[in-house]
Amino acid sequence: MFKVFLALRKGISVLPECANSLHTSIVQNNYRFKEKALQILNDSQIDSTRKIESLKTVLNLKNDSPAFKIAFENGKAELVTEFMKKKNETSNVSDAEMLIYLRYVPKYLDVVDQKLVTTFIDRILGMEFVPDSALYDVIHGLSGTKEWQKGISLYNQLKNPSKNCLENLIIASVNSWDFDTCFRLLKQLCISYSTISDHILETLVESKVFETLNKTGKYHLKLFISLLAENEIYPSNNVTKKLERQLVSNGYTVNRFLFKRHGKCPKCSTQFQVQTPLTFREYSRLKGAVMKNVLVGNDVFQRSTPEEVEDFKIFIKDRAPFDVIIDGLNVLYISGIRVDQSIKYRKLLSLIQQLKEENKKVLLIGRKHMENGLRNINVSKYCHLYLVNNDSEDDPFMIYSSLMSGPDCYVATRDFLRNHMFNLKDPELKEFFVRWRKTRQLKNFVIENDKICYLPPVKEDRVAQFSENLESVHIPYEDGKARPIIDPPKTWLCAKRITS
């Protein structure tokens, strides 16, 4: 610390060295503390009470709660349980101590004491006021008991719902073989948080839900695949391996393949599902909902101004409809980050010229800092141009102009546009938004001869899918390799029922 003080007097040029020295000292101290803590926790000669007291002394802790946390984090749940049982019999356990114990219940289901858990939950819920932060731990605790369903009603009362709480309740429903509740909670998870973790998927696939594909088993498998498809979830290779074992035991032959644009599975010749455009009625519903929930609400005004939005609306009213809306900044960087700016702009112009030659009416939406670069390529000669403020979020302007241009308008961007989909709470509207994006988004580009060329949207729907009566199942999955988030994985699982 004295070095830091001297650095402040001499000037900031020596601060990085002092900061590194201070960081190294903290890391070394943390390592020594961890070593001491492990020595105490692993000492078989002393009982749980002395271990907790020794931890408090060595680590200079004022109460038991941090010591419990250290013990839990180092896999010593049985030590905390033994200590808590003794303390509960002889003195009052504090609220903080009870909540820490409940927090770790899902991680140590086989070790925690169920009676103790129930006692602590009753005490916490008996308080005059229970904040959300305490209810989180109560729900964690309930998820490890036979009364886990009470946690669902508590979860629905939360002002600020927690993803971890919902995930633990899902695991509790799987462990209890209550798969109808499980899939209901999984849908709720997807609506609120858009995805399902691999841990949850593995827990579900390893359970008895797909052990026998009778009428109920098939129903649940269809629900599972539909959840993956509707939310564009791509499970890991580990998840698909576990699912493969279940499918093989139920009379399927399973293969893996790389997706290519040929319409059929190369392993079983099943035709892939085709992405279906929205009907006029579906499009009208989506347009109305987007205007209300995505554009008129807080979504635009968070990073724009009412004046800018009003000006843009007048601009669109005077010039729409368009055939293609281009996300200027997004497409500009298709050429690469380190490419010279003038080259980037020339390549962007090449895409606009290609669309112009196809008699497309184009709107380019950019940022004001792009003005000079766009002027240099005389972009206004080939398309309409609107520049939003540098601090504004350009996606809502792009979505607005596209929807105002009608169902045949395309959007050229590699942005996933997911944030705006999540503002649509209705699952049916979410599905409409995804279908609109898949069929009207130009996201595949190639660079040839210093020109950016677009490829039409892929016709096949690259999500998990099944044929009638589950004769075949196809699931795209992550192979562990990095990929652009906008592009679905190329690795697929093919499962075909063996017919006699």
Question: Which residue shows structure tokens 């369903």?
Answer: 149
Degrees (nearest 5) of the Cα angle 305, 310, 311? 100
Q: State how far the Cα of 200 lies from the Cα of 42, in Å rounded to an integer.
A: 32
Which residue would you say has higher pLDDT here, 251 or 21? 251
Residue 290: per-residue pLDDT: 83
Q: Over the stretch 13-61, which tens digit does the pLDDT of each residue have?
A: 444 444 444 344 434 445 466 676 666 767 676 777 777 777 777 667 7
Other residues' Cβ atoms within 10 Å of the Cβ of residue 345: 21
Q: State how far the Cα of 331 lies from the Cα of 443, in Å rounded to an integer.
A: 9
Q: State how far the Cα of 321 lies from the Cα of 47, in Å rounded to an integer.
A: 77
Residue 198: per-residue pLDDT: 94
Q: Over the stretch 349-380, which tens digit does the pLDDT of each residue have?
A: 999 999 999 999 999 999 999 999 999 999 99
Average of per-residue pLDDT values in the chain: 86
Rg (CA), the chain: 29
pLDDT at position 7 over 90: no
Residue 247: per-residue pLDDT: 96
| Backbone torsions φ then ψ of 483, nearest 5 degrees | -150, 155
Biggest alpha carbon–alpha carbon distance for the chain: 85
- The side-by-side arrangement of strands in the sheet containing 472-476 is 252-258, 491-497, 472-476, 465-466
Q: Which helix (H) or strand (E) element contains residue 491? A: strand 491-497
Residue 110: per-residue pLDDT: 83
Percent pLDDT > 90 in the chain is 56
- Of 363, 370, 360, the closest CA to residue 329 belongs to 370
Q: State how far the Cα of 203 lies from the Cα of 184, in Å rounded to an integer.
A: 16
Q: Which helix (H) or strand (E) element contains residue 441? A: strand 441-442
> With the C-alpha atoms ordered 376, 381, 383, 389, is the resulting torsion angle positive or negative?
positive
Residue 21: per-residue pLDDT: 44
The structure's pTM equals 0.79
Residue 18: per-residue pLDDT: 41
Q: State how far the Cα of 84 lies from the Cα of 78, in Å rounded to an integer.
A: 10
Question: Exposure of 85 by Cβ count < 10 A (0-12 exposed, 13-18 middle, 19+ buried)?
Answer: middle
Confidence of residue 421 (pLDDT cuts 50, 70, 90): low
Residue 85: per-residue pLDDT: 87
What is the Cα 477 distance to its own chain's centre?
Answer: 15
Q: State how far the Cα of 404 lies from the Cα of 394, in Å rounded to an integer.
A: 16
Residue 301: per-residue pLDDT: 45
Q: State how far the Cα of 250 lies from the Cα of 302, in Å rounded to an integer.
A: 52
Q: Following DSSP, what letter does each residue of 404-437 receive, concatenated? A: HT-TT-EEE-----HHHHTT--SHHHHHHHHHHH
What is the Cα 62 distance to its own chain's centre?
Answer: 39
Q: Following DSSP, what letter does each residue of 162-183 receive, concatenated? A: -HHHHHHHHHHHHHTT-HHHHH
Q: Over the stretch 257-296, which tens digit does the pLDDT of each residue have?
A: 999 877 899 999 999 999 899 999 999 999 998 877 655 5
Q: Which helix (H) or strand (E) element contains residue 308? A: helix 306-319
**207 contacts 183 by C-beta, under 8 angstroms:** no
Residue 294: per-residue pLDDT: 58
- Of 162, 163, 186, 164, the closest CA to residue 173 belongs to 186
Q: Over the stretch 384-400, which tens digit does the pLDDT of each residue have?
A: 999 999 988 888 899 89
Confidence of residue 348 (pLDDT cuts 50, 70, 90): very high
- Of 247, 270, 275, the closest CA to residue 257 belongs to 270
Confidence of residue 224 (pLDDT cuts 50, 70, 90): very high
Q: Following DSSP, what letter does each residue of 62-93 receive, concatenated? A: SSHHHHHHHHHHTT-HHHHHHHHHHHHHHSPP
Q: State how far the Cα of 80 lies from the Cα of 100, in Å rounded to an integer.
A: 10
What are the CA-CA distances from residue 78 to residues 54, 101, 114 (Å)?
A: 17, 11, 13
